[in-house]
Each structure stands twice: as structure tokens, then as C-alpha cells.
Amino acid sequence: MEPGFFDLLARAALDGPTPWVLAALVAMVVAVSRLPAGRRPSMKLPIALLLLHAITTTAGAAATAAGYAAQTYWIAAYALELFAGVAAVSVLVFRVTVPQLGWRVPRILIDIVTAIAVIVALIAVGKRAGLSLAGLITTSAVLTAVLGFALQDTLGNIMGGIALQLDQSIDVGDWISLGPGTPPGKVVEIRWRYTAIETHAWTTILIPNSQLVKGTVTVLGRRQGEPHRVRRDVDFYVEVAVPPGEVIEAVHAALVADPVANMVTEPPVQVLLYGVAEGRGWYKVRYWLIDIGVDDPTDAAVRARVWYALRRAGHGFSIPAQHLLVTAQDEAHLQRRDDRELRRRLDAIARVDLLASLDEEERRQLAGRLRDAPFRAGEAMTREGDADDGGLFVIVAGRAAVRIGAGATAREVAQLGPGQFFGEMSLMTGEKRSATVVALTDVVTYRIDKVAFEALVRSRPEIADDIADLLAERRSRLLEAREASDDLSRSGVRARTKNDILGRIRGFFNLGAGR
């Protein structure tokens, strides 16, 4: 006798994989319902597949009970329950258990394992339906070729994805750039077909894995064995007349004192004079950023710091030079600028003891002959042994060291600061430079050349006397330093030297002995 409808249903429920599939679904439902509400994965697919299975089974049982051939129903029901089982196990393992264990399973692994499970299920279904899928593929050359062609790209992507995972060349969280045309983005997942990156512009770009494996990919901010960081350059412009040392020092100090958020302190921030563009000094703040996600906001914070630092130093961002030239042509403006400069020069002259005896007019004349001569920290302003006619330098700002000798035997004989001068020895006697004077900080000086000085000593011969005094004093210290000749009485050397020097000065400038 033919089995009845309910017999068939009961047999279907107990037969084959059904109890296992049901058990997997129950386990999945229990596990998922234990999770907190917001973190529950969707169970729609396995449940929907199970429902479809139930419907096809019922249809199959009804058809069979009624005496119809219902093989198709049973096979469909079998396929549906296998898929439901795969889906349930996938949710249970990859969406519940693995996250609970705290493992980070690459997305592509989940995709591939699921795909293999589905293929196995399909083969099982094929077997039940009486066709051997594996046999079909191996025996039919045409089918194999067609499949091969169809899967060519997909396989390339899958293999690419697997390769990316295995060699860990790209990881979730990395920022990558594929070159012009594709904005850089942060890798959010690597799947079997593509790798997804999220860009600053809130877009997601799906890059086929095969392209990532074949092409050149720039991983931003990564270097072997080093923490993640990326170099940023923030440009700013300052009038070219502002001494670069001043700009660099002011900006650097402001950035080092309180590093901007997301800026690393090692490697340290640099402030560079990068060039001169459109008549302006072109500077760069070069710093290292931790999080590429906030590159523009951090650049903006750095730029704001620069603005304030420059303001405090009495400067500011400059506008393009065309505008400056328009105002610079203005007569009144030129006059004001000259007056300002004259005042600065007169102030500088007033600070030099040696020139204290000059009257107002002589000072003005000298001021007109001074030349601006600023030096960057580290520069040599005179070099021992040079026969330059660079003249005498009056220091307005900064510090300098007077050194003799070179290399290991080099030694410092004195330091000079604002109001002091150097270079008078060769100016006044025509001898070679007796020492190297090095700028210890950025130094602002005014240079007095031979012509200007000649005019000065001619009108005030006593200046030659004062200078000869100082010169003798300096020279004796040089002598001491050179020979460490403590046995010579210092005053004796000085007196001799002074007379000698005065004679040389007079000779050099053609001054009479009595003047």
C-alpha cells in the first residue's frame, strides 16, 4: 500500500539530514537570541530557506500521496534544507561564535568556506537527482572550457583576495592609494571578489582583487617595523624681507611647545624655507600625522598655529608680491620705510661705545653708509686667514663666537653680542682676518666698509686711538689663546701692540702721526 501523506511527512522529518538541519537552526536561534538586541545578526535567510523546504516537502508529500511522480519536489526540498543548514551553521559559526571568541576572521575566508559548503551541497543534490556534477565537469570538455572562461575573472579575484590575505600586503584599516584617478581610502573589508575602501568623501570604492594584485598599490603611512604615520606638508608664505631664521624659529617653537593633536613628536616637526615664489618666502611645516582620517583638519590646526606664531613675532602670511609692488611704488610709503630704517640704524650706532663720540650729523652720515648684513645661525661671518675686504660689522641682534684654529685645535676666544663689533682688525690694518667669527644664533649686523670708515677716522682721529686700544686688547687675547704664552706680561704685549697697531692704522688710512 502507498504511504499516506502524514507518513511521508514524518519520514521526511526524520530522514536524511533533516534532524541535523533542524538542530542547527534551533542552536542558531538560541545563540542569536542570547546576544544583546543591537548585535543580533539576521536569521532571515536560513529561516526562509527552512520555510521553503517545509512548503516543498508538504507539496511533495501531497503529490506522492496522490500518486503523482513528485521526484522534483523531493529534490528541491532536499536542496533547500541543505542550503538552510549551511546558512544556519554559517550564522552560528561566523556571526556568533567567532566574534564571541574575539577572533578576527577575514571576510574572504567566510565567503570561501560558505561557497565551498554550497558547492558540496549542490553536488549532493546532483547526486540525488541522478547526475554527477563532478563527473560532468571532468568528462565534458566543452562545459569545462565554458566554466573556465566564465570563472576566469572571478577566480582571478578570489586568488587575488587569498594572496592579499596570505601575504598580508594589505590589511583592513590600511590606507591605500591606487594612483591618480582613484582617491585614497581606508580598507574596510577584503572579500572574495573585491576589496572595499572608504574615502574621505564618504564614498566606498570596490576594487577587484585581481587589480590590487596586478597593479601598484601605495600603502600610505606604513613602513616595515615602524608605527603608522604619514608625512604632511603645510605651505605658508611670508614676505621675503622677513629673515627666514625668525620665521622658522617662531613657527617651530609654537609647534614644538604644544604639539597639535594627531601630530607625532618623533620624527619631530620641521619648518623649512622651501623656495621663493612670487616674491614671497615659501615655507613648509613638515610634520608626521598619526591618523590619515583627519589629515585636513590637522593641517588646518597647524596652519592656524602658524598664523598666530607669526603674528606674535610681528609678521604674518604674505599676499602675492604684485600687491606689494603697487604699494611699494608709493612715495610716501618709501619715505616712511626709509625713515624707519634710518631710526633703526641710528639706534644701532648709539649702542656702540666706540662711536659714542660722533655728533648727530656724523651719525647720520655713517647711518647712510651702513649695509645690511644678516647671517643665519652657523654661518661664518669672517674666516681666519681670509684677505677679504668685507669691512667691520656692528652686531645689532644675536650672538657670535670668535674662534681660532681649525678642527681639533679650534678654540673659542670670545663671544660677542649686540652693540659689539668685529672685523675691525683687517679693516684698519689691511691684514688678513685674525679669527673666524661664527653666528651662534641668527645675527643681524650692519657692515661698515673701508670707504665709510675712512671718512669716519678722518673726521674723528681719536676713534682710531680707541680702536687701537681695543684691538690691542683683543690681539693680546688672541696671542694668549694661540700660544698660551702666560709668561709674557700681558700689559707689555698690549702696549707694544697698541702702538704698533696705531701706526699701522695711520699708515693704512694715510693719517698723519699727530692727528
Residues near ligand CMP (CB under 6 A): 382, 402, 413-414, 422-426, 433-435, 437, 474, 477-478
The label of the residue with cell 602675492 reads 320
Helices and strands, counts by H and E, the chain: 18, 16
Copy the grid coordinates of residue 449: 666698509
Taking CA atoms, 259 is separated from 199, 209, 287, 315, in Å, by: 26, 39, 10, 22
Name which of 315 and 475 has its Cβ closer to ligand CMP.
475
At its nearest, how many Å lie between ligand CMP and the CB of residue 311? 37
Q: Are 271 and 251 in contact (CB under 8 A)?
A: yes
Least spacing, CB of residue 460 vs ligand CMP, in Å: 19
What CA–CA distances, in Å, run from 480 to 290, 421, 470, 499?
A: 55, 21, 15, 19
Closest to ligand CMP by CB, 111 vs 466, is 466
DSSP string for residues in 45-88: HHHHHHHHHHHHHHHHHHHHHTT---HHHHHHHHHHHHHHHHHH
Query: Smallest distance from the beta carbon of 410 to ligand CMP, in angstroms?
Result: 14
| Cβ-based nearer residue to ligand CMP, 186 or 351 | 351
* Rounded least distance, CB 380 to ligand CMP, Å: 10
Cis peptide before 99 (omega within 30 of 0): no
Report residue 429 CA to chain centroid gap.
Answer: 54
Report in angstroms how near the CB of residue 294 gets to ligand CMP at its nearest: 52
- Minimum CB distance to ligand CMP, residue 510 (Å): 20
Instruction: Provide the minimum distance between the beta carbon of 423 and ligand CMP in the complex, in angstroms, as a whole number.
Output: 4
Chain position carrying cell 601575504? 167
Q: Which is nearer to ligand CMP, 170 or 394 (CB)?
A: 394
Q: How far is CA 144 from the centre of its chain?
A: 52
**Distance between CA atoms of 31 and 29, rounded to whole angstroms?**
6
Alpha helices in 313-438 (DSSP H): 321-328, 331-350, 360-369, 424-429
